[in-house]
Amino acid sequence: MKILTTLLELRSARRTLPGPVGFVPTMGYLHAGHISLVQAARAECASVAASIFVNPTQFGPNEDLARYPRDLPRDLALLEAAGVDLVWTPKVEGMYPSGFQTWVEVEGLTRPLEGGTRPGHFRGVTTVVAKLFNAVGPDKAYFGQKDAQQAAVVRRMTKDLDFPIEIVVCPTLREADGLAMSSRNTFLNPEERQAATVLFLALSAAKSAYDSGEHAAEKLRALVREAVNAEPLARLQYVSCADYDTLEELEAVRGKSLLSMAAYVGKTRLIDNFVIG
């Protein structure tokens, strides 16, 4: 596995990779969810590239950039064991040299949900993903369904800017008790870790109501609110029942829809979602 830091090194190594090339962008501190993206890429592509870059521009001023967990040696060992051919680990000053002032911004899709509570977040994501796509030049790129809005926004950007890249969205991987895997789960103390299952339980309650015939979106949102309010360590930030493609809030679930939420458990902000309809 080649490990590269500069754009020049990356470009020359990229030329030697047989295509199609699958790409898994990450911010490191990898878990089984990331490895499942690598496995999907491995199954579909002749070569697999990954990146590890904790992107400062997608963190707000009061967010957890400084304490975002990092363990590069462990990440590299996991990627090598999963069969990655090339890893790019750019430096912040390489990605954002002094004088940097060009941004990629998707408009409507980034306004609700995560965009409503994390101003500027998606501008940072789309800018860095566009730079990563330009640098790596993959045929396919792999994202997790857990960040459903991110996947929708990246899909839109890829289409709008004519990147010749297929965006593949892979299922959310969960712990045995249903908690969606996330690098941020490591911030939870044992009590919070137990309380954090409330996200999965709340979404499951709404999904089983939907499966039993409840299609009113507000009823489904109310079930999520009720479940989270019953957990003293959790504080709901938003719950949404929206059209899967446009992310517009629904009155009733008719077609493919996204039931999504963000909640604080202690000081840790977690997100999760289910696709229904």
Q: Name the residues annotated as catalytic.
A: 34
* Interface with ligand PAF, residue 258, by CB under 6 A: no
* Interface with ligand PAF, residue 78, by CB under 6 A: no
Applying CB under 6 A, among 128, 173, 220, 228 the residue interacting with ligand PAF is: 128
**Residue with Cβ nearer ligand PAF (129 or 250):** 129
- Using the rule CB under 6 A, give the single segment among 42-50, 122-130, 222-230, 231-239 that binds ligand PAF: 122-130
Q: Which of residues 95-114 bind ligand PAF (CB under 6 A)?
A: none
Alpha carbon distances (Å) from 203 to 1, 231, 273: 40, 14, 7
Judge whether 72 and 50 are in contact, CB under 8 Å.
no
Q: How far apart are CA 250 and CA 248, in angstroms?
A: 6
Residue with tokens 């870059």: 53
**Residue with Cβ nearer ligand PAF (106 or 228):** 106
Q: 157-162: which pairs have CB atoms within 8 A and are 24 or more residues apart? A: 157/104, 157/106, 157/126, 157/129, 157/130, 158/133, 160/106, 161/104, 161/130
Asked, as a colleague might, if the bond just before 232 is cis with ω within 30 of 0, I would say no
Q: Which amino acid is at 122?
A: F
Q: How far is the CB of 54 from ligand PAF (least distance, A)?
A: 8
Q: How far is the CB of 267 from ligand PAF (least distance, A)?
A: 20
Q: How far apart are CA 97 and CA 259, in angstroms?
A: 39
- Using the rule CB under 6 A, give the single segment among 8-16, 25-33, 41-49, 230-238 that binds ligand PAF: 25-33
Q: How far is the CB of 226 from ligand PAF (least distance, A)?
A: 30
**Residue with Cβ nearer ligand PAF (42 or 146):** 146
Q: Which of residues 189-248 bind ligand PAF (CB under 6 A)?
A: none
Q: How far is the CB of 31 from ligand PAF (least distance, A)?
A: 11
Site string for ligand PAF, 43-62 (x = CB under 6 A): ------------x--x----
Q: Which of residues 134-173 bind ligand PAF (CB under 6 A)?
A: 147, 150
| Eight-class DSSP state of 137 | -
* Interface with ligand PAF, residue 271, by CB under 6 A: no
Applying CB under 6 A, among 14, 26, 200, 271 the residue interacting with ligand PAF is: 26
**Residue with Cβ nearer ligand PAF (185 or 231):** 185
Judge whether 261 and 224 are in contact, CB under 8 Å.
yes
Q: How far apart are CA 269 and CA 254, in angstroms?
A: 30
**Residue with Cβ nearer ligand PAF (166 or 214):** 166
Give, in degrees to the nearest 5, the angle at Cα 261 between 59 and 246: 85
Pairing of strands 86-88, 47-52: parallel
Q: How far apart are the first and last CA of the chain?
A: 42
**Residue with Cβ nearer ligand PAF (58 or 185):** 58
Which stretches of the chain bind ligand PAF, using CB under 6 A?
25-27, 55, 58, 125, 128-129, 147, 150
